[in-house]
Amino acid sequence: MVIGAEPYQSRVLAPLPIINDQIELSNPDQTRIARARQLTEFGLRDQAALELQSLAVLDPKKSSDRAKLSSSTLLHLIRELSASGLYLTSFTLIDPILQRSDESLYHRPIVELIYPTDQFTTISSQGEKNGLDPLFVLSLMKQESGFEGQILSRVGAEGLMQLMPYTGREVYGKVFGSPSAVERRDFLQPELNVTLGTAYLKQLSERYNGNGAMMLAAYNAGPARMDSWKKSGIAERGFLEFVEQIPFSETRGYVARIFRNYVYYKALRENVLVQIPDDRSSERKHPFWNR
């Protein structure tokens, strides 16, 4: 399993390349982009989304449609989608570019499209309030919702940090004193969702002594399951061994992907190279494996 970052820092932090804006879209499609820009400027995000999604998705049954577009065209669409807050759709267009293994694409402006920092002001405030690294929270949010605040999962999780309603109400009661005062639709409010999500992460941090990998496993699979895994002894091993031994494949991938997100966010925001936790090191603290 590839969990860490390949040698990436020299590329991520490289000078900005010139991105060619010459694209081969038809005139009607160009008109759609212009219309979406105007709608976004007027605050009509949903209408802008319809314009861009119909253009970006093309025919979902024909993935080869995207393969026919140049990297410049795809990048143009990705930037338009990101500017409108349609990150999840933009991420689906990024994959075809990366699969081309074009070395010229691995530069900061491209990586920043993959790792946006939406809601970072709120995340920073609530993260610091709860003793959390804001970039850890940001990395989780990217995986949970792709920064789309109105998203609902198939199992009922809601909002930016994908809170389950019962978890949201429980945490709301601890933070604000009255769980009955909150309604389910309230969890879709970005600021409240982040407030409750970071408060819940604080609870998990206290429960698992700040061990980021265990916190994430509990966030995804539930604290009861994480506690049972801990009792089984897998938490006595090193970071990589722990992740590999998580019984649920979804949770294994979840922890690994958020670690990857964190590596890139630390490089982009703080110029810090995060190493995979090494049990042989004399350093006993690591954001993902605090022993």
Query: What is the model's pLDDT at position 90?
Result: 86
Quick one: 72 and 139 in the same domain? no
Higher pLDDT, 150 or 123: 123
Quick one: 177 and 255 in the same domain? yes
Query: Considering the domain boundaries, does residue 1 fall inside one?
Result: no
In the predicted structure, residue 3 carries a pLDDT above the cut 70: no
Quick one: 249 and 154 in the same domain? yes
Higher pLDDT, 83 or 147: 147
CATH code of the domain covering residue 167? 1.10.530.10
Query: Considering the domain boundaries, does residue 288 fall inside one?
Result: no
Query: Considering the domain boundaries, does residue 289 fall inside one?
Result: no
Quick one: 185 and 245 in the same domain? yes
Once rounded to an integer, what is the mean pLDDT over residues 110-126?
91
Query: What is the model's pLDDT at position 59?
Result: 56
Averaged pLDDT score across all residues of the chain:
83
Quick one: 28 and 149 in the same domain? no
Q: Find out whether 3 and 258 touch, Cβ atoms under 8 Å.
A: no
Of 185-189, 193-197, 242-246, 286-290, the least confident: 286-290
Q: Which residues are identified as catalytic?
A: 144
In the predicted structure, residue 34 carries a pLDDT above the cut 60: yes
Q: In 81-116, which positions are buried (b, 16+ CB within 10 angstroms) versus exposed (e)?
A: bbebbbbebbbbbbebbeeeeeeebbbbebbebbbb
Quick one: 96 and 126 in the same domain? no
Quick one: 158 and 182 in the same domain? yes
Query: Considering the domain boundaries, does residue 160 fall inside one?
Result: yes
Quick one: 94 and 235 in the same domain? no
In the predicted structure, residue 138 carries a pLDDT above the cut 90: yes
Last residue of a domain, one of 84, 106, 128: 106
Domain count for the chain: 2
Q: The domain containing residue 260 runs over which residues?
A: 120-270
Once rounded to an integer, what is the mean pLDDT over residues 168-177?
94
Once rounded to an integer, what is the mean pLDDT over residues 23-41?
69
Quick one: 131 and 85 in the same domain? no
Quick one: 199 and 150 in the same domain? yes
For residues 160 and 44, what is the distance between their CA atoms, to the nearest angstrom?
A: 20
In the predicted structure, residue 154 carries a pLDDT above the cut 60: yes
